[in-house]
């Protein structure tokens, strides 16, 4: 299996008035195509920082991020924006759906921005996650789990190579969490999407192909 993402000696140091904080200290790992990898760590362990670096929303202090064979750490901002839109999908703790648009319109939004027609795919994804009947509803009328499934459908609309998920189950109850973890596993398998999920929930490990503990600036396979 080809590696889609290779992280080499990734380091992030924040410079604060009180001194330097080394959030990520020489982290290295690689991820194969279609793998579902979970990083579990407590609050403040650098999970969001790691995803932001990979999404090029923040700059690494040191290290390489090799995506599809190319180091992307030095590409320009407009190239980074294009890469995010066409190759990456994002799911956050809070669904970030736009309340004044329907579920279907929300799911179609990234396709619209990319200039693609995707109604068939939107229907396919909403059916797959069991919420097609909610397509014309507005997000505030959905449950937390339904919203996160809609957010997942939206993240997948442009067929991203890489899906980055930042505590996507952070505000769900146990049963809904399990469902979301399963949805991610199914996505990796059926769509061939490579998934990096960060969470503080140890239950996520059961569904992942690989799992790391992230703590004190380092990662360790568990």
Ligand X SMILES: Nc1ncnc2c1ncn2[C@@H]1O[C@H](COP(=O)(O)OP(=O)(O)O)[C@@H](O)[C@H]1O
Smallest gap from Cβ 113 to Mg ion, in A, equals 25
Per CB under 6 A, 213 contacts ligand X: no
Give the β-pairing of 19-32 and 3-16.
antiparallel
Residues 60-119 that bind ligand X (CB under 6 A): none
Per CB under 5 A, 48 contacts Mg ion: yes
Q: How many positions of this chain bind ligand X (CB under 6 A)?
A: 12
Q: Cα-Cα-Cα-Cα dihedral of 41, 45, 46, 51, to 10°?
A: 10
- What, of ligand X, Mg ion, none, does residue 77 touch, CB below 5 to 8 Å by kind? none
Residues 19-58 that bind ligand X (CB under 6 A): 21, 23, 41, 43-49
Per CB under 5 A, 45 contacts Mg ion: no
Smallest gap from Cβ 47 to Mg ion, in A, equals 5
Q: Which stretch binds ligand X (CB under 6 A): 13-21, 71-79, 127-135, 202-210?
A: 13-21
Smallest gap from Cβ 55 to ligand X, in A, equals 13
∠ at Cα 129 (164, 93), nearest 5°? 35
Q: How many positions of this chain bind Mg ion (CB under 5 A)?
A: 2
- What, of Mg ion, ligand X, none, does residue 155 touch, CB below 5 to 8 Å by kind? none
Smallest gap from Cβ 150 to Mg ion, in A, equals 21
- What, of Mg ion, ligand X, none, does residue 136 touch, CB below 5 to 8 Å by kind? none
Smallest gap from Cβ 199 to Mg ion, in A, equals 9
User: Which residues contribute to the site for ligand X (CB under 6 A)?
Assistant: 14, 16, 21, 23, 41, 43-49
């Amino acid at each position: 299996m080809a590696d889609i993402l290779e992280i080499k000696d990734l380091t992030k140091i924040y410079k604060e008035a009180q001194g330097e904080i080394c959030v990520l200290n020489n982290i290295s790992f690689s991820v194969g195509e279609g793998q579902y990898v979970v990083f579990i760590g407590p609050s403040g362990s650098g999970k969001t920082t790691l995803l932001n670096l990979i999404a090029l929303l923040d700059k690494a202090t040191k290290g390489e991020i090799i995506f599809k064979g190319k180091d992307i750490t030095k590409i320009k901002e407009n190239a980074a924006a294009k890469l995010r839109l066409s190759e990456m999908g994002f799911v956050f703790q809070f669904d970030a759906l736009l309340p004044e648009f329907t579920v279907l319109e929300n799911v179609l939004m990234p396709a619209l921005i990319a200039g693609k027609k995707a109604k068939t795919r939107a229907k396919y994804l909403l059916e797959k996650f069991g919420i097609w009947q909610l397509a014309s509803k507005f997000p505030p009328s959905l449950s937390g789990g339904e919203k996160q499934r809609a957010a997942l459908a939206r993240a997948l609309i442009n067929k991203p190579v890489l899906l980055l998920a930042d505590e996507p189950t952070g505000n769900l109850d146990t049963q809904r969490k399990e469902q979301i973890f399963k949805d991610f596993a199914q996505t990796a398998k059926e769509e061939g999407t490579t998934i990096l999920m960060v969470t503080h929930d140890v239950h996520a490990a059961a569904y992942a192909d690989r799992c790391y503990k992230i703590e004190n600036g380092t990662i360790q396979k568990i």
